[in-house]
């Protein structure tokens, strides 16, 4: 029997491009760690150098290949180290100073619009000084604009007045490093500006200098206005997210539905969107070419093929869609991968998709060595890698089938069945492979995404996206003020939201889990790699079982409980607000206040809930709202909605304000028991601890009109928590009048840890109260650079005069207190973060700091430098 030739040439055992790409990627990881572990990274470089040349000496590779591998690793290390050093530059902030300044700059990227707000990345060029003189500056800032924002486009020269501050975030255990993300994106500072009618705070000086980009931005603006004018709010936001990449108009309900259903990637233009549009264009062009008259088709085939014509015709639409979508960094990375695949098709190298992925990795990491630390990069490359591995396994399997003489003749039904099975497999594998990353960034295992994406992605790719883009093109060509084709687009968008909400409603779809430890993620991907390599062997099945075991462990989410006889308090960094978590060894949890919430940022959603999930907490036995003010209870609505709550305590005061009505609505919907507390009540057991309410003297009750801040503050719930030998006092926002009443009573006030009243305001400093409490440490919850001037200088001087150390959430981040049988242990999140090491510190100083960084990396409690 003469066996047919395989359809593709056998792949080489080693793909040099893939090895170099991996070396460059690993080098970028090493380079980013250089500033924290310089001696360790230098030793690693020597080990890599010795390893590659040992392989060369043993004849495993040529000397030239060994040099290329080490060169790629060294290049990645040096590039990432230099890029990281540049991202920490603060020259712009030093030049401008701490006060308000008039700056001139160019809008560097497409502006992101939302309701009465916008965010622009501005390349600052000049500082306007006295008498109209200007001075040259250089740096990129993130500018938040409030008010009726004009239709700004990229490239425009603008002048604005703002106060610059360094990129910041919130320092909480397991919290996302937003400041680091901004710095890696090249943002050196952030600022805010509120538009005024007289144009004194913001004005456009000159149109865009890049005609093409300005024109595309104008198209985006026309599309935005037409969509907002034609479609209802939820659908308009979804339409803009799919077509222009603007997510500012998405409603929170839509975001939550797509997140819970595992389809949140649909809401941001990425490789899947570009790939789907490319696939539709490719298929349509190829079918059109094949439908040509035979004579014309024969003449065309003498020069090229229908596949290559379709690949060439797909390039321009995909590039235009990327531009229309804002050409964000993540979109451009995906575009690079798509273009490489199309180039491989044009060159007739469709079997080299893995090599194309390696080339894309080389180009992207070579251009931006810090790109691997972006979540979009990680998820996109991981998804494409899974697809490449599955395709490779399929080609290998088909090669064996052909070599074995098995006929490849199959009917349409068999091919469709095989395609659906393969799609299901790829979707499930991508869901499994991305599970650790999704758990790390979102505290969620989106298991339902393995099924939902099979229906949602084709629906979006073959119906919603083409119809939406055609409506956009028709609107732009026709110059219409309304969205043409909205009668078709609107039901499609409604169906898409209905599908997402349907999958989100599946019991357990929104499975929240703690972030996996680094060692768990390493073992997970090692086992997953072994499963892919040896999927036909026993070792592969064992590795697969271990992967499933880790997934079950994360889904089970065992609690991170304090040791027996220990109580753990965490004062969260929620900016200008309050939130404190109490955990006991028997698994009880109490939350006192939940920070603020606004249309743009909800502390409950973004800070408090992620920390609770990270601790494995699914039930809060007690939630306490100290008093009905936004900065204390605004974030509690989301927490009560997402967690099981045993009981909810208030001071009995109600207000006719939106944030409190939202909270009360959630409490009623969830059926949470509510209790108004006062000092007239009895002590309450909380695990091994005892809770005593010291304020208010009696429940005030009723609805308070207006905003009488002093009255609301003095009616705050004051709690005294006694756990063994340790006592803690939570004071809400009480001011001097309430403190005087507490001090006059005298008994039951002593506490080792005092939560400073009212964020350290002048009106809440009362010496006799402090002398009665006798705190060992005081904790004040304040926002960085807040406009209230908290904590006040009077508060700091008074506490220092009494010898009371002060810990501040704006300086120390989240503050953790462990109350044990032998005393207190303090930990500050700022002390747990890795510290940058300058090479000019001398060998002894550098080595000591590096050892401290290794200790921080392995979870040693962060030290607190209290102000005395």
**pLDDT computed for residue 8 by the predictor:** 42
| CATH number, domain 91-209, options 2.40.50, 1.10.357, 2.60.40, 3.40.50 | 2.40.50
For residue range 585-619, what is the model confidence (pLDDT) as tens digits?
A: 999 999 999 999 988 789 999 999 999 999 989 99
Q: What is the pLDDT of residue 844?
A: 53
DSSP H or E run through 206: strand 202-206
Kindly report whether the peptide bond that precedes residue 577 is cis, defined as omega within 30 degrees of 0: no
Mean pLDDT of 532-546: 73
User: b/e per residue, 162-183, with b = 16+ CB within 10 A?
Assistant: bbbebbebbbbbebbeebbebb
**350-395 tens-digit pLDDT:** 566 677 778 888 888 888 888 888 888 888 888 777 777 766 565 5
SS3 per residue for 119-160: EEEEEEEEEECHHHCEEEEEEEEEEEEECCCCCCCCCCEEEE
pLDDT at 402: 43
Grade residue 818 by pLDDT with cuts at 50, 70 and 90.
Answer: very high
Of 613 and 748, more confident: 613
Give strand ranges (E) for 279-407.
none
pLDDT tier at 6, thresholds 50, 70, 90: very low
pLDDT digits (tens, 9 = 90+) for 39-96: 999 999 999 999 988 888 888 888 888 899 999 999 999 999 998 887 776 778 888 8
Mean predicted lDDT score pLDDT of the chain: 85
Separation in Å, CA 398 to CA 403, 407, 417: 8, 10, 16
Say which DSSP state 326 is in: T
Q: What is the pLDDT of residue 350?
A: 59
pLDDT beyond 80 at 182:
yes
Identify which has the larger pLDDT, 535 or 122: 122
Torsion angles phi and psi, residue 134, rounded to 5? -125, 155
Write down the CATH number for the domain with range 567-832: 3.60.15.10
DSSP-assigned states of every residue in 23-50: HHHHHHHHHHHTTT-HHHHHHHHHHHHH
| pLDDT confidence tier of residue 867, bands split at 50, 70 and 90 | very low
Name the β-bridge partners of 476.
Answer: none
What letters, b where the CB count within 10 A reaches 16 and e where it falls short, cover 208-230?
A: beeeebbebbebbbbbbebbbeb
The answer to whether residue 269 scores a pLDDT higher than 50 is: yes
- Give the DSSP letter string of 506-574: STT-SEE-PPPPHHHHHHHHHHHHHHHHTTTSHHHHHHHHHHHHHHHHHHH----PPPTT-EEEEE---
For residue range 549-591, list pLDDT tens digits in order: 777 777 776 777 888 888 999 999 999 999 999 999 999 999 9
> Which contacts of 342-349 are long-range, i.e. CB under 8 A and separated by 24 or more positions?
342/278, 342/311, 342/312, 342/314, 342/315, 342/318, 345/307, 345/308, 345/311, 346/308, 346/311, 346/312, 348/308
Mean pLDDT, range 271-299, rounded to an integer: 82
pLDDT tens for residues 403-434?
444 444 555 566 556 656 666 777 777 888 88
In the predicted model, is pLDDT for residue 472 greater than 80? Answer: yes
């Amino acid at each position: 029997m003469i066996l047919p030739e395989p359809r593709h040439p056998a792949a080489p055992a080693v793909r040099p491009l893939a090895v170099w790409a991996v070396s460059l990627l690993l080098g970028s990881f090493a380079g980013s760690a250089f500033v924290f572990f310089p001696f360790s990274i230098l030793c690693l470089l020597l080990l890599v150098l010795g390893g590659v040349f040992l392989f060369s000496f043993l004849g495993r590779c040529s000397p030239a290949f060994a040099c290329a591998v080490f060169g790629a690793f060294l290049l990645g290390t040096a590039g990432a180290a230099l890029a990281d050093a540049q991202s920490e530059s603060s020259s712009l902030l030093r030049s401008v100073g701490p006060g308000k300044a008039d700056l001139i700059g160019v809008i560097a990227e497409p502006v992101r619009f939302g309701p009465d707000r916008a965010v622009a990345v501005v390349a600052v060029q000049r500082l306007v000084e006295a008498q109209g003189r200007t001075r040259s500056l250089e740096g990129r800032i993130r500018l938040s604009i409030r008010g009726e924002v004009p239709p700004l486009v990229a490239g425009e020269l603008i002048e604005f007045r703002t106060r610059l501050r360094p990129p910041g975030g919130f320092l909480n255990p397991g919290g996302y490093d937003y400041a680091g993300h901004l710095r890696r994106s090249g943002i050196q500072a952030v600022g805010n500006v509120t538009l005024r009618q007289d144009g004194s705070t913001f004005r456009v000086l000159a149109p865009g200098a890049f005609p093409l980009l300005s024109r595309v931005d104008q198209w985006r603006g026309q599309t935005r206005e037409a969509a907002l004018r034609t479609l209802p709010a939820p659908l308009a936001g979804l339409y803009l997210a799919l077509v222009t990449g603007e997510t500012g108009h998405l409603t929170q309900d839509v975001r939550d539905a797509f997140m819970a259903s595992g389809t949140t990637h649909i809401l941001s233009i990425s490789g899947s969107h570009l790939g789907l549009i490319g696939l539709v264009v490719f298929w349509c062009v190829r079918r059109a070419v094949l439908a040509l008259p035979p004579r014309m088709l024969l003449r065309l085939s003498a020069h090229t093929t229908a596949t290559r014509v379709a690949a060439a015709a797909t390039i321009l639409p995909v590039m235009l869609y990327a531009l229309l979508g804002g050409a964000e960094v993540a979109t451009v990375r995906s575009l690079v991968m798509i273009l490489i695949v199309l180039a491989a098709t044009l060159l007739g190298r469709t079997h080299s998709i893995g090599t194309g992925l390696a080339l894309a990795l080389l180009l992207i990491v070579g251009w931006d060595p810090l790109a691997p630390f972006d979540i979009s990069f990680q998820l996109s490359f991981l998804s494409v890698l899974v697809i490449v591995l599955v395709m490779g396994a399929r080609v290998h399997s088909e090669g064996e089938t052909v070599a074995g003489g098995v006929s490849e003749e199959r009917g349409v039904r068999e091919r469709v069945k095989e395609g659906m099975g393969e799609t299901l497999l790829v979707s499930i594998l991508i869901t499994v492979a991305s599970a650790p990353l999704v758990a790390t960034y979102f505290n969620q295992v989106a298991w339902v995404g393995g099924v939902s994406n099979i229906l949602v992605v084709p629906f979006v790719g073959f119906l919603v996206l083409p119809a939406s883009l055609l409506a956009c093109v028709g609107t732009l060509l026709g110059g219409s003020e309304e969205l043409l084709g909205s009668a078709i687009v609107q039901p499609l968008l409604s169906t898409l939201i209905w599908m997402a909400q349907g999958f989100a409603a599946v019991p357990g779809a929104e499975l929240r889990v703690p972030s996996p430890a680094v060692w768990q993620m390493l073992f997970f991907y090692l086992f997953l790699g072994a499963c892919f390599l040896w999927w036909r062997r026993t070792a592969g099945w064992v590795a697969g079982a271990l992967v499933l075991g880790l997934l079950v462990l994360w889904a089970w989410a065992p609690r991170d409980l304090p040791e027996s006889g220990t109580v753990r308090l965490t004062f969260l960094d929620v900016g200008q607000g309050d939130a404190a978590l109490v955990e006991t060894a028997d698994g009880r949890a109490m939350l006192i206040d939940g920070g603020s919430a606004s249309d743009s940022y909800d502390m409950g959603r973004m800070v408090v809930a992620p920390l609770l999930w990270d601790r494995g907490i699914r039930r809060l036995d007690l939630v306490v709202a100290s008093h009905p003010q936004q900065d204390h209870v605004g974030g509690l609505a989301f927490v009560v909605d997402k967690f099981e709550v045993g009981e909810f305590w208030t001071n009995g005061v109600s207000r006719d304000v939106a944030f409190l009505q939202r909270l009360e609505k959630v409490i009623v919907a969830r059926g949470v028991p509510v209790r108004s507390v006062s000092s007239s009540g009895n002590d309450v057991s909380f695990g091994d601890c005892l809770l005593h309410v010291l304020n208010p003297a009696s429940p005030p009750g009723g609805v308070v009109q207006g905003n009488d801040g002093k009255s609301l503050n003095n009616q705050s719930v004051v709690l005294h928590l006694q756990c063994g030998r340790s006592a803690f006092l939570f004071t809400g926002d009480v001011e001097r009048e309430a403190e005087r009443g507490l001090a006059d009573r005298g008994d039951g006030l002593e506490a080792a840890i005092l939560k400073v009243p009212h964020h350290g305001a002048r009106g809440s400093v009362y010496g006799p109260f402090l002398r009665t409490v006798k705190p060992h440490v005081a904790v004040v919850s304040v926002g960085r650079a807040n406009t209230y001037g908290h904590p006040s200088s009077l508060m700091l001087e008074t506490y220092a005069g009494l010898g009371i150390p002060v810990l501040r959430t704006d300086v120390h981040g989240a503050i953790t207190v462990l109350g044990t049988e032998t005393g207190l242990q303090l930990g500050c999140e700022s002390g747990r973060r890795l510290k940058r090491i300058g090479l000019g510190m001398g060998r002894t100083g550098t080595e000591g700091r590096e050892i401290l960084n290794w200790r921080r990396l392995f979870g040693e409690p962060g030290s607190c430098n209290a102000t005395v």
